[in-house]
Amino acid sequence: MANVNEDRYVGPVMRKGEIGDAVIEAIQEDNKGRDIIIEEHESYFRIKVEGECLLRFETVGDMLGSDVASSDIESAMPAFEGFIRVSTDQIRFLSK
Amino acid sequence: MAMLKMEDWYDLARETSWTPSYVRVDEMFPKPMSNDFDIPISEWEKFDEPYKISYREYVRMQRDKDVSAYSVKAALARSKFFENASPHWKALLALHFSTVGWSEFHSASCFARQSRFGRSPGMRNMATFGTLDEIRHGQIQIFFGYEFLKHDAVFDWCHKSSKTENWIPISLRHALDDICHTRDATTAAIMLTVGFEQSFTNLQFVALSADAAKCGDHTFATMLTSVQTDEARHAQIGEPLVRIMCANGKKEEAQKLVDIAFWRMWKQFSVLSGVGMDYYTPIEHREHSLKEFMEEWVIGQFGRSVVALGLDLPWYWDELHKDIESFHHAQQIGLYVYRALQWWRPIAGVSPDEREWLEKKYPGWNESYGKCWDVVTENIRNGDLEKTVPPVPPLVCNMCGLEVAGGVGDHWHPVNYNLELDGRRYHFCSSVCKWIFEEEPERYKGHTSIIDRVLDGTVPPGPDGLFEYMGQSEAERGVDGYDYEWIDGYNVIREAAE
């Protein structure tokens, strides 16, 4: 069984598709210096960032080539780990 | 003109508290509907939505989600997926749609009460979106399920099951009534969002979507994840509530609510998701076992979240680990051997290849549950079908409403958790179900399981009495989903050996 006391990795679970791919690229761009793990499952990606995960909509938009809002992210994000904080420009996933 | 950022206007826009002058605060928020746990309102009003969204943006987003899910359904309608699906997958769809769809309306009602009786504007705001979410979930799942009705009358039970006294709806309603409907808004919010949604909906709506995608049922997979995108948002109501409780010396109270709700829903999902993933999903399309998905989503993700939130893991965490290995295997035997009591066509799911998979995922399965299936299999091979149906009814737990089942085969151990109260003996499937009862006997003692109703005469006598009571006409009584053809796999093995 997984150890619940291990160092916590946080981040979104994204449905496979265009937005999911862009979110992976954006998180890698915006969280440099943190350990990042991408787990691929049949229908979703689990993106895990050590300690805290920052997801900036502008970066996702740059990857996609179009404007992105929090609602676009939510529509492709069926789950996440961590405590979420949503604002106009970004989502943060906190470990505590 | 530059638009203000959401965080610059959000708090002001959703500030709906005022000082009443015609009624007292305790009349506006009576304790039975809105327990403040003796925490000052100034503390509750610190509730800050972790997940902020405007109503305008919410409506646009939900419309887009529906357009996406319904478009996939429309595009794939001509693929004849359902008509060509295996009895395995049809059983899974029937079980899902006839238990989950109407359950969503229970959640809608619960969130609606939170949107009225929540102690803070932020909570009421999030709960309003939660209410709308759950109405959508009920509607989309009833609609998608009813689409199969033209192919299979079983799907009449997408809605019908909620109105019957079949033993499964009795069990599920009792759990949902306990955490959603018979608690005040604050309590229900913690139990529903932390004890239920943050823990188990991922299992059925994200993990199962992986199996659905592998199975090629992209309509079902898309619908599942579409629903869960809402759940992931509104389930966050629980975080600030628990933090406020802990910060004001009420950790013990919050912990108990989570412990009770989590176990009650685990029992339901162990059957719904456990049987669905480990028996009803065709073997070639299984992404993981229930145990593996539980490790990822519940033991791992939920467990870490609870601890990070300032709570402890539920006291029965070790027992949960054991239950993950066993409970749904026992329930699957019960679902199959008492198959006439189910409205769908149950699958045994124990062909030689499937048994090999089960043994690999649950080492020791062949020496325990496999021993029961040996007997069932041999009786079917010999044509003694009547011997595959027990002549006596099962013992049903007076908390979860599911079968009391101990270890079997070489690992035999009986289950004996019972207590006497007011001249009545209550039976439980586990120490945890018994603990929940003992914490508040007055709350639970009046409920009767389906077996209690048989014994006290509520169920009419006669061979059809139970079926009539449960709303099952002759055509609505479960039969083997393969008409026993799965036994051919064993015949081939025996013939090869001979």
pLDDT at A7 over 80: no
Residue A75 falls inside a structural domain: yes
The pLDDT value recorded for residue B412 is 77
* Segment B354-395, tens digit of pLDDT: 999 999 999 999 999 999 999 999 999 999 999 999 988 899
DSSP-derived letter for residue B358 is H
Residue A64 falls inside a structural domain: yes
* Segment B269-328, tens digit of pLDDT: 999 999 999 999 999 999 899 999 999 999 999 999 999 999 999 999 999 999 999 999
The C-alpha atoms of residue A92 and residue A55 are separated, in whole angstroms, by 6
The pLDDT value recorded for residue A46 is 96
* Segment B424-460, tens digit of pLDDT: 999 999 999 999 999 999 999 999 999 999 999 999 9
Asked if B204 reaches chain A (Cβ–Cβ under 8 Å), the answer is: no
The pLDDT value recorded for residue B1 is 65
Residue A93, SS3?
A: strand
pLDDT at A4 over 50: no
pLDDT at A2 over 80: no
The pLDDT value recorded for residue B95 is 96
Residue A65 falls inside a structural domain: yes
Residue A2 falls inside a structural domain: no
Residue A3 falls inside a structural domain: no
* Contacting A residues, span 4-43, partner chain B, CB-CB under 8 Å: 4-6, 8, 13, 15, 41-43
The pLDDT value recorded for residue A5 is 46
| Average pLDDT value for residue range B172-177 | 97
Residue A1 falls inside a structural domain: no
pLDDT at B80 over 90: no
**Residue B220, C-beta contacts closer than 8 angstroms, at least 6 positions apart:** B93, B144, B209, B212
How many structural domains comprise chain A? 1
pLDDT at B498 over 80: no
What is the percent of chain B where pLDDT is above 90? Answer: 86
Q: Structural domain of residue A43, as residue ranges?
A: 9-94
The C-alpha atoms of residue B159 and residue B100 are separated, in whole angstroms, by 10
B287 vs A42: CB contact, 8 Å cut-off? Answer: yes
pLDDT tier at B422, thresholds 50, 70, 90: very high
| Average pLDDT value for residue range A60-80 | 94
Please, are residues B133 and B231 in contact by the beta-carbon 8 Å criterion? yes
Mean pLDDT check: name the lowest of A49-58, B9-18, B123-132, B294-303.
B9-18
Query: To the nearest whole number, what is the mean pLDDT of chain A?
Result: 92
The C-alpha atoms of residue B442 and residue B438 are separated, in whole angstroms, by 9
Q: Which of A43, A69, A70 sits opposite B213 (nearest CB)?
A: A43
What angle is formed at CA B24 by the lines to CA B21 and CA B29, rounded to 5 degrees?
125
What is the percent of chain B where pLDDT is above 70? Answer: 100
Q: Which of B228, B229, B287 sits opposite A41 (nearest CB)?
A: B287
A45 min Cα distance to partner chain B (Å): 11
Residues of A in contact with B211 (CB under 8 A): 42
Asked if A67 reaches chain B (Cβ–Cβ under 8 Å), the answer is: no
ipTM value for the complex: 0.92
pLDDT at A3 over 50: no
Residue A78 falls inside a structural domain: yes
Residues of A in contact with B321 (CB under 8 A): 1
The C-alpha atoms of residue B252 and residue B246 are separated, in whole angstroms, by 8
Q: Which of B51, B299, B301 sits opposite A81 (nearest CB)?
A: B301
B350 min Cα distance to partner chain A (Å): 24
The C-alpha atoms of residue B165 and residue B401 are separated, in whole angstroms, by 12
| Average pLDDT value for residue range B50-75 | 93
Q: Which of B209, B210, B300 sits opposite A2 (nearest CB)?
A: B300
Tokens representing A42 are: 């049949």
B236 vs A85: CB contact, 8 Å cut-off? Answer: no
pLDDT at A1 over 70: no
Asked if B67 reaches chain A (Cβ–Cβ under 8 Å), the answer is: no
Q: Which domains does chain B have, with CATH numbers?
A: 41-497 (1.10.620.20)
B100 min Cα distance to partner chain A (Å): 17
| Average pLDDT value for residue range B8-31 | 92
Residue A4 falls inside a structural domain: no
Q: What is the CATH number of the domain that holds A79?
A: 3.90.56.10
Query: To the nearest whole number, what is the mean pLDDT of chain B?
Result: 94
